[in-house]
Amino acid sequence: MPRQSRITSQSGLYHVMLRGINKQDIFECKDDYWKFIKLMHHMCHPLDETDHPVPPHCCLYAYCLMPNHVHLLIKDYDGSLAELIKSLAIPYAHYYNKKYERIGHFFQDRFKSEPVNDWEYFVTLLRYIHQNPVAGNLVSDVNDYTWSSWREYVNPMRCSMPICATQSVLTRLPIDELKALVAEPLPKAQKILEINNTSSRIDDDMVQNYIVTLCGPDYLEVINHYNLDEKRVLIRKLLEFGASMRQISRLTGLSLKTIRLAQ
């Protein structure tokens, strides 16, 4: 079946999502998050070969880096959205695969995108993107999450690498109003990119129960005696179940390298 054409935004604004293949984690440590942030900074504030600024092809208004996916609220100036996202995805995938001795596809399919053609939906996405870590049970308060653009809005003087065009937003929506909106959870019925599933991340107990179902209550001893092929079969089943690589490593004792190579 041929791929459906992307819906073009009349405003040039898009909500974009990149997700790891099989929902795998795409960030393992703070250095990985910083690598992606630096790539976003270069995308929005490009330099030529002599390190002089050149006109950018886009503007970023919000982002959130989750363990296994990324959200961007981006304005494409000249119809080059696909190339812009490639400038993030390709070098980051190369960096990750080399660092963790991994091979194969890294991001799942094409990136997802939806047009943003009015101010009301733009504000909804500002809320949704910054609420992602709370919805995903990573933090209890948006202010506690490090890897999003929220700190650029609420504490710009302490942001070590500002990327987003926050002032153009705050001229229309004062920070106190934005804080109040972001603090109020969006209705669960709100449809955003038809992928509003960040709260579905499974916890360790669910993964552990599934391992017991597959291997029995003495699963640690059983797994320890598995040969490499048997370990790979188990790892793939756990990834398909929705477990993250770090969960699998933590609960089974298998190394992250073994888990990555099993994909």
Give the strands of the sheet with 69-76, arranged side by side.
Answer: 58-65, 69-76, 13-19, 112-115
- What's the mean pLDDT when you consider all of the chain? 87
224 belongs to a structural domain: yes
Q: What's the pLDDT at 198?
A: 42
* Global confidence as pTM: 0.74
Per-residue confidence at 72, pLDDT binned at 50, 70, 90?
very high
CA distances (Å), origin 187, targets 117, 145, 149, 258? 21, 21, 22, 40
**Tokens at residue 80, please?**
């080059």
CA angle 32, 35, 40 (to 5 degrees): 130
Banded model confidence at residue 175, pLDDT cuts 50, 70, 90: very high
Rg of the chain on CA atoms, in Å = 20
Indicate whether 145 and 115 sit together in one domain. yes
Burial of 190 (0-12, 13-18, 19+ CB in 10 A): exposed
Instruction: Tell me what pLDDT residue 257 has.
Output: 78
**Is the domain of 19 the same as that of 78?**
yes
**Lowest pLDDT segment from 9-18, 96-105, 151-160, 189-198:** 189-198
When mean pLDDT is compared across 24-28, 81-85, 166-170, the lowest value belongs to 24-28
pLDDT band for position 189 (cuts 50, 70, 90): low
Question: Which of 199, 224, 242 delimits the end of a domain?
Answer: 199
Residues 223 and 124 in one domain: no
74 backbone dihedrals φ, ψ, rounded to 5° = -130, 145
* Cα–Cα distance, 122 to 113 (Å, whole number): 14
The reported pLDDT for the residue numbered 148 is 96
Q: Answer yes or no: is pLDDT of 195 > 50.
A: no
3 state DSSP class of 137: coil
Average pLDDT value for residue range 32-59: 93
Q: Considering only CA atoms, which of 218, 205, 252, 209 is closest in space to residue 233?
A: 252
Which residue has better confidence, 6 or 29? 29
43, 136: one domain: yes
Instruction: Let me know if 32 is exposed, middle or buried by CB neighbors in 10 A (0-12, 13-18, 19+).
Output: buried
Min mean pLDDT across 101-105, 148-152, 165-169, 200-204 is at: 200-204
Instruction: Taking residues 225-248, report their average pLDDT.
Output: 85
Question: Can you tell me the distance from the alpha carbon of 133 to that of 86, in angstroms, rounded to the nearest whole number?
Answer: 25
The answer to whether position 7 is within a domain reads: no
Are 220 and 191 within one domain? Answer: no
Give CA–CA dist 108/68, Å, rounded. 10
Q: Stretch 154-162: mean pLDDT, rounded?
A: 85
Let me know if residue 79 belongs to a domain.
Answer: yes
Going from the C-alpha of 32 to that of each of 73, 77, 147, 186, 222, the distances in angstroms are 21, 28, 11, 29, 33
Within a domain: 235 = yes
What mean pLDDT do residues 198-203 have? Answer: 55
What is the 8-class DSSP label of residue 107? B
Q: Which amino acid is at 136?
A: G
Q: 223: which 2 tokens? A: 């797994």
Residue 233 identity? V
Pairing state of beta strands 58-65 and 13-19? unpaired
27 in the same domain as 111: yes
- The span from the CA of 110 to the CA of 84, in Å, is 13
pLDDT at position 129: 96
Average pLDDT over residues 156-169: 90
User: Region 216-230: what's the mean pLDDT?
Assistant: 88
The residue segments making up the domain with residue 129 are 13-199
How many domains, in total, are found in the chain? 2
